[in-house]
Amino acid sequence: MHDAGEPSLQRLMALPAFSTSGKVALKPGFERIRALLAGMGSPERGREIVLIAGTNGKGSTASMLAALSTAAGVRTGLHTSPHLLHVGERMRVDGVAASADWLAAQTERYSGLFDRVEPSFFEATLALSLVWFAEHDARRWVIEVGLGGRLDATNALDPAVSVVTSIGWDHVDLLGPGLADIAREKAGIARAGRPLLVGALPEEARSAIAAHAATVGARLMEPAGPQQAIDGTWTLQTPLRRAAGLRLPLSGPHQGMNALLALSALDLLHGSPVPESPVPESIVQHGFVDLHVLSGLRARQEWVQPWCMVDVGHNPDALEGTFRSFQQASRPDAGAAVLVLGFLGDKDVEAIGRIAREVFLDMDLQPEIVTVPTTGARGMEAGEAAMRLQAGGCRATPATRPVADLLYDLAPAGRPVLVAGSHQVAAEALRWLDRRR
């Protein structure tokens, strides 16, 4: 058996990655990914592919669509990034991730190809995902776009349906100074004559995407907003059906829109006639309820222990939904909650501080906020994170110990704890929490 420390896997992990190396790892264009896929036998040819882009919600939406597809009996490959505990998490078929053994063997098999093409880590793992899907004869491939869309390696693929979940202020240094600029980059995944599903967008972003869709001849589709009942169930109106009484595994109004986009994409892919769909609503409900098992999704409002939620939200819009979900679930001990937060250096931490203050304002006491460091070229020290949260109006204390040590001390008290702010921090928490299960 291959081990994660085996030389072949080490070579894969040593490829330049945006999460650790920053901008130097970004290699816009499709020459390398096309060369990789050609060298691997073009596994993507003839596949039913969905590309999902967006500032927030793309991972959740991709996972929901994959879970719905698997529940409907369609063998489905799901590519997401970044990974949390093991690189194989990026490539899953019906929720099952590629093993370290398989990855090591494939990295060794294609080592010469990697040497010639010199891909980024993202490009190499995307190509390996497609090989994994092809080996398992996955009929539908759901692909989460990396950064932007227009020049992202995933856009070398030929999608049957494209989705843009949301447009917000993130990676403005790379995607453009305004929402319209960011929207145009993400709308680059649209294809002539094919559906482009979009979520609820700011008008500036919506106009930019509509103009781009008209230019390339894509069929812009904007599903009507989801509705949530008093009992917490959702009504989702897709272009082809109205599904009522659905229960979602993730809370927050933004998850209703993510679910709507996933269900709309499912209906488009199945070409369901009106008024009935070939995917019954009982199966749709099964896909949503068993999301985590069917897709392998982790760290999206996940209560890993009864007292600890872990979430990979890392920008203001995403963390607002996470904060509200956590607040609603931890009200019995209002004022006793603890937030363990760590951020990468390009995040608007001041805005996150303002949002945390607003969300928790109606609690008797503000939660205790502890900041932890992140590493790599884009890392941020705990002290800087605390100062920037303070500038946003939220008092925070920098930690001097690892996340695992903080959780070790907090566990006996049973205080509600949220760990969030970056994939790095979420992964540290999961490693410790999973061992206690």
Q: pLDDT of 346-401, one tens digit each? A: 888 999 999 999 888 765 557 899 999 998 878 899 999 999 999 998 899 999 88
* 414 token code pair: 């049973």
Most confident option among 200-209, 266-275, 362-371: 200-209
Query: Same CATH topology for 7-295 and 302-435?
Result: no
Q: How far is 123 from 153, CA to CA, in rounded Å?
A: 6
The answer on pLDDT for 26 being more than 80 is no
pLDDT of residue 365: 58
Q: For the chain, what are the domain ranges? A: 7-295, 302-435
Point out the least confidently predicted range of 78-92, 208-222, 263-277, 336-350. Answer: 263-277
Element (H, E) at 140: strand 140-144
Residue 1's pLDDT band, with cuts at 50, 70 and 90, is very low
Q: What is the pLDDT of residue 413?
A: 84
With a cut of 90, say whether residue 283 has pLDDT above it. yes
What's the average model confidence in pLDDT over 11-35? 69
**What is the pLDDT averaged over residues 156-177?**
79
- For 302-435, CATH number out of 3.40.50.720, 3.90.1300.10, 3.90.45.10, 3.90.190.20 equals 3.90.190.20
* Interval 296-317 mean pLDDT: 89
Considering the entire predicted model, what is its pTM?
0.88
Instruction: Decide if 199 contacts 57 (C-beta within 8 A).
Output: yes
Q: For 177-194, how does the pLDDT look when each residue is reduced to its tens digit (9 = 90+)? A: 688 888 988 999 999 999
pLDDT at res. 217? 97
Name the CATH topology of 7-295: UDP-N-acetylmuramoyl-L-alanine:D-glutamate ligase (3.40.1190)
Instruction: Tell me the backbone φ, ψ of residue 372, rounded to 5 degrees.
Output: -130, 155
Which pLDDT score is estimated for 314?
Answer: 79
| pLDDT, the chain, mean | 88
Average pLDDT over residues 310-335: 79
DSSP state of 313: -
Share of the chain above pLDDT 70, in %: 89
Calpha distance 141→129 (Å, rounded): 10
The pLDDT score that the predictor gives to residue 412 is 87
Quick one: pLDDT at residue 176?
Answer: 56
In this prediction, residue 126 has a pLDDT band, given cuts at 50, 70 and 90, of: very high
Burial class (CB in 10 A: 0-12, 13-18, 19+), 198: buried
Question: Is the pLDDT at 68 greater than 60, yes or no?
Answer: yes
- Average pLDDT for residues 212-227, to the nearest whole number? 94
**Reading across the β-sheet that carries 302-305, which strands appear in turn?**
302-305, 308-310, 417-420, 338-341, 368-371, 397-398
pLDDT of residue 27: 66
